[in-house]
A and B are shown apart, each in its own frame.
Chain A
Amino acid sequence: MWDLILLYTSNVSLILGSFLSLSLGLGLIRFPDFYSRMHAAGVADTLCAGLIVFGLSLQSGFNLVTLKLYLILLFIWFTSPTSSFTLANTAYRAGHGVDKTSEEESSSKS
């Protein structure tokens, strides 16, 4: 019974993580300008990595592999937001403003 619960929880979180990862990729392609693309990649990335690592750790049981998985997760949680921030900050300071055409489009739509 307990095994079954573990299996289903792990599967659900893996599927959710994969779905987030997929929507991240979609957002990266489909969003109109640089910053909203960054937002799609940066925001979904942390949760997606967390869900996938959580799902994998439920499958591996409680051992050294789990510890390593969570260390990887910690590393990702530190570096991924920082790199997104660095990218966005650098682009902002380099004067890469929001694209004019997309601004007009969004204002005309709303």
Chain B
Amino acid sequence: MMMRDLFAIVMLFGIYSLLSAAIFVTLDAVDVAFTEAAVGAGISTILVLSTLALTSSEEKPPQHKFFLPLLVVLITGTALVFGTLDMPDFADPNAPVHQHVAPRYIHDSFQETGLPNIVTSVLASYRGYDTMGEVVVIFTAGIAVSLLLTSVRHKRNEPGNLKDLGHHPIILYVSQLMIPLILLFALYVQFHGDFGPGGGFQAGVIFAAGFILYAMIIGIDKIRETFSSACLRWLAVTGVVLYISVGIVTLLLGGEFLNYNVIAEDPVEGQHWGIFLVELGVGITVTATMLGLFLTFSEVKRSQ
């Protein structure tokens, strides 16, 4: 409770994410578990650690009294717990969440979209608006961080700490062996998401993690040459634009926004193409944003 070591807190947070991923697996929510493991335990730990490298790994002692915040937290917590009393029982089959649209997804999604993985069809097709919102949120976050840090960017980090790791042959060879496999696995997750667990978000994060590993072990300058910040920004925009343009195309073809049935003659094939393109857009944006965040963090000089 009184822990001030931010590094330990970040590690605990990663462990917490991994454990909740295990809980999701036991609840048969494999897609959610995959996302939690890749995003929560994987990439956000890397990003927060690179933030800590910029700031300090010790929390400053608080300046204010803690009675008022405690009171606010207690009141809010009580209100929230009071609110849960009206909720249906855990795993109650008559709960509204199981009666509203879920039966339709479970019974009809295979006929309507032709995808065995219901999660993908819900995420990319039935709930396409929500996913579009999520992609735009990630894109906005990436833009905001790079805007905030641009003012200090001209102070380049001395190439030192990051490059050191690759000097040792064992680390170098094993990561050279692993990076192509990681990228291949990311592509598999991206394009196999229709049939098994996976999809654009996880694939984008894994793809970015492969490049981040390369940057940490073999050399960040190569990554900077390949993906300049302008290039990453264009990629991030491309993903969002791809997603939205699929919606606009469906509008022009006479359907509703993001109703993929109209893309091809056969509605199921149209769904297939729509979901494929939308997931591709998600993957591109997530990759570009995550990699861009990492590169932005590593460019800023450590503040004293």
Q: CB within 8 Å of B: which residues of A?
A: 78-79, 82, 85-86, 89-90, 93
Cβ A85 vs Cβ B170 within 8 A: yes
Write out the residue numbers on chain B whose beta carbons fall within 8 Å of the beta carbon of A93: 164
Residues of B contacting A90 in the complex (Cβ-Cβ under 8 angstroms)? 165
* Binding site secondary structure of chain B: helix
Contact call B168/A79, Cβ cutoff below 8 A: no
A-side contacts of B175, CB under 8 Å: 82
Q: Is the CB of B170 within 8 A of A82?
A: yes
A-B complex: 5 closest residue pairs judged by Cβ atoms: A82-B174, A86-B171, A78-B174, A85-B170, A89-B168
Chain B residues closer than 8 Å to A85, beta-carbon distance? 170-171
Contacting residues of chain B (189-222) with chain A, CB-CB under 8 angstroms: none
Q: Tell me the minimal C-beta distance from A48 to chain B in angstroms.
A: 17
Find chain A residues with CB under 8 A from B164 CB.
Answer: 93
Is A86 within 8 A of B178, CB to CB? no
Could you tell me if A86 and B177 are in contact, using CB atoms closer than 8 angstroms?
Answer: no
B93 to chain A, nearest CB (A): 31
Min distance, Cβ B140 to any Cβ of chain A, angstroms: 34
Q: Which residues of A contact B178 (CB under 8 A)?
A: 78-79
CB distance from A5 to the nearest CB of B (A): 30
Query: Is there contact, CB below 8 Å, between B165 and A79?
Result: no
A-B contacts besides A78-B178, A86-B171, 6 pairs, CB < 8 Å = A78-B177, A82-B171, A82-B175, A85-B170, A86-B165, A89-B171
Query: In the bound complex, what is the Cα–Cα distance between A94 and B52 (angstroms)?
Result: 18
Can you pick out 5 interface pairs between chain A and chain B where the beta carbons lie within 8 Å of each other? A78-B174, A79-B178, A82-B171, A82-B175, A93-B164
**How many Å from the CB of B256 to the closest CB on chain A?**
40
Tell me which residues across on chain A come within 8 A of B174, comparing CB atoms: 78-79, 82
